[in-house]
Chains A and B, each alone.
Chain A
Amino acid sequence: MDLSTLGPFLVGVITSGLVLGFVYAIIALGYTMVYGVLQLINFAHSEVFVTGAVVGFEIFRVLEPSPMNGYLKLLIALIAAMVASGMLNVIIERLAYRPLRNAPRLVPLITAIGVSLILQDVIRIIEGFQGRFDLTYKLPPAFNTNFCGADSSCEALGTALTKVGISLQIKEVIVVAVSLLSLALLNYLVNSTKLGRAIRAVAQDRVTAGLMGIDSNRIIALTFLIGGALGGISGVLFGMKFGTINAYSGFDPGIIAFTAAVLGGIGSIPGAVLGGLVLGVIQNLIGVTNVLGSILNIANLQAIDASYQRIGAFLVLVLILIFKPTGLLGRSNTEKV
């Protein structure tokens, strides 16, 4: 193996890692926003996200025969998933977390695990009534073609990209575009609106925010709504990118996305995005370590293959937290003593 193939190979690995990272990033945002206001690891977020994926699946399935424009279908799917996941998240907050606002922190954590278990079965039952378990996205055919592939107006660009190792499908480009758009919207919402200010105030200090006339219950509910809507988006993106989901498939990406949120500094929105991207790329790089090892002729690296992808994320987290205990972009909360 020579070095001229190595370059495009690595570029390809990193590109696909970035696409994956964007999906993680949007899921991680759902965790980090809820964490920001309640300091709660919302274990149920993985199911909120699966709910979005399921809703997206249903929309694409129902609209499959329709001659509607694919992007319109996507828009409908995204909106429906956002609404469904957002509402679900609000309901969960109202029923399961709000009554426990003043309980010790572990109590809502266990409740969240309970809610997560309930939702897994509920999703499976609902889809099971229609005889389905694994749900495979029926995307408009155009989404499955290559980005700037043959016979498209930008074929030259596509060829150039392929040469450097980037070969993307339309749906992957959509994943990135939708992610960026959601990030921009979220950024605007949090940093430039009154609601965003209220959310930040509640995240900082719920009691004081209450004294300033902010209805913290309402703000928390709205935060869950936004977090859930992001979960819905990420569900649809996940379904598009990987094709198949089932009631239980939220768990693994959920854990990795939460790791991403912590890696970036939990509670920090740019941190969650950075963490997601870093983990996406690192997971893919760990997956190809054995190839790099054989190219560079390092025997020990050759034992590290795709089976270490999952724990690689955690080991990176350990390393980063040892050197930067608040995560990459976490505020260092110097405690007043």
Chain B
Amino acid sequence: MSSASNNSFILDVRGLTKVFGGLTAVNDVTLQIPRQGIVSVIGPNGAGKTTFFNMITGIYEPTTGFIELDGVNLVGLRPDQVTSAGIARTFQNIRLFASMDCQENVMVGRHSRLKAGYIDSLFRTKRFYESEQEARDVANMMLDFVGLGQFRYEMATNLPYGDQRKLEIARALATSPKLVLLDEPAAGMNPRETEELKSLIRRIRDELGVTVCLIEHDMRLVMTLSEYITVLNYGSKLAEGLPHEIRNNPQVMEAYLGRGAVAGEYGKEAVAGMQEGV
């Protein structure tokens, strides 16, 4: 397998397909994410976006296709190995560790980067203290970065919804990723929180140098934030391009609007968002 020839792409996904039983959830999707970019994957509900993420992060194994991160093959790796390789993620339905405070939650994210092992922990070696210090420092730094510094010792589940999402982002960032995948980060947020999120995502890229890829339904956010957009529909790639190209793509409009009465409101809202978010 050749490594991605063009070094300007950090993630190189080719021909990714996932079949569940008889259902093809993701069909031959090819996607390149530019280094230090902010890209979005959008599409109506059930378009296969989350399945796509789950394949990249090793939760599902692709039926066919290949995934390379900076020239390193990811197919067949376990999720924790993918994380070590440099991809971190957040979840659509927030998955924080309920009995831990915020700092501990983020410290778990540092797990794969710490050097202290079992024996170090048992005998409290120098390396253990260094590792713990590192974990704590990184956790505090990331909490500060997402603006949760003052809730360090708060139970994660006691945070407001929007802050829980930020905490998940902090936890993902603590893994020192090259690429972070955000699964609907703005879901359930009010407009003010969404604005904060937008600047947070920009800072992730600008200040930390981490590439960001997000799945999002909030088209205002997607259109203003993304540098490049991929649209999935029924598991296949429908379109890709710059935000204004997507906005003016009739097929995309069709996909969002032409879905009958039930999806109608949602589709109209999405399309309106696309047009508005300039």
Contact = CB atoms under 8 A, between A and B. Distances in A.
B59 interface: yes
A337 B93 CA distance: 7
A194 interface: no
A336 interface: yes
Nearest to A334: B20
A337 B215 CA distance: 13
Interface residues of B, number: 7
A334 B59 CA distance: 11
Interface of A: 334, 336-337
B234 interface: no
A336 B93 CA distance: 9
Interface in B13-57: 20, 50, 54
A337 B50 CA distance: 8
Contacts of A336: 93
Nearest to B95: A337
Contacts of B54: 337
A104 B92 CA distance: 25
7 contacts: A334-B20, A336-B93, A337-B50, A337-B54, A337-B59, A337-B91, A337-B92
A213 to B, nearest CB: 24
A313 to B, nearest CB: 31
Contacts of B50: 337
Contacts of A334: 20
A119 to B, nearest CB: 34
A328 B93 CA distance: 30
Nearest to B54: A337
A165 B93 CA distance: 59
Nearest to A336: B93
Interface in B44-91: 50, 54, 59, 91
Contacts of B92: 337
Nearest to A335: B59
A334 B20 CA distance: 11
A64 to B, nearest CB: 58
A337 B59 CA distance: 9
A336 to B, nearest CB: 7
A187 B211 CA distance: 55
A147 B173 CA distance: 73
A336 B54 CA distance: 10
A54 to B, nearest CB: 44
B267 to A, nearest CB: 23
B123 to A, nearest CB: 32
Contacts of A337: 50, 54, 59, 91-92
A32 to B, nearest CB: 25
Contacts of B93: 336
Contacts of B20: 334
Contacts of B59: 337
What are the 5 tightest A-B residue pairs by CB atom distance, in nearest-first order? A337-B59, A337-B54, A337-B91, A337-B50, A336-B93
A337 B54 CA distance: 8
Nearest to B20: A334
Interface string B91-129: 111000000000000000000000000000000000000
A73 B32 CA distance: 77
B95 to A, nearest CB: 8
A334 B60 CA distance: 11
A337 B51 CA distance: 9
B184 to A, nearest CB: 12
A336 B20 CA distance: 14
A335 to B, nearest CB: 9
B100 to A, nearest CB: 16
A336 B50 CA distance: 9
A337 B91 CA distance: 7
A334 B91 CA distance: 16
Nearest to B79: A337
Contacts of B91: 337
Nearest to B59: A337
A315 to B, nearest CB: 28
A336 B59 CA distance: 11
B209 to A, nearest CB: 27
A337 to B, nearest CB: 6
B266 to A, nearest CB: 19
Interface string B226-257: 00000000000000000000000000000000
B89 to A, nearest CB: 9
A203 to B, nearest CB: 21
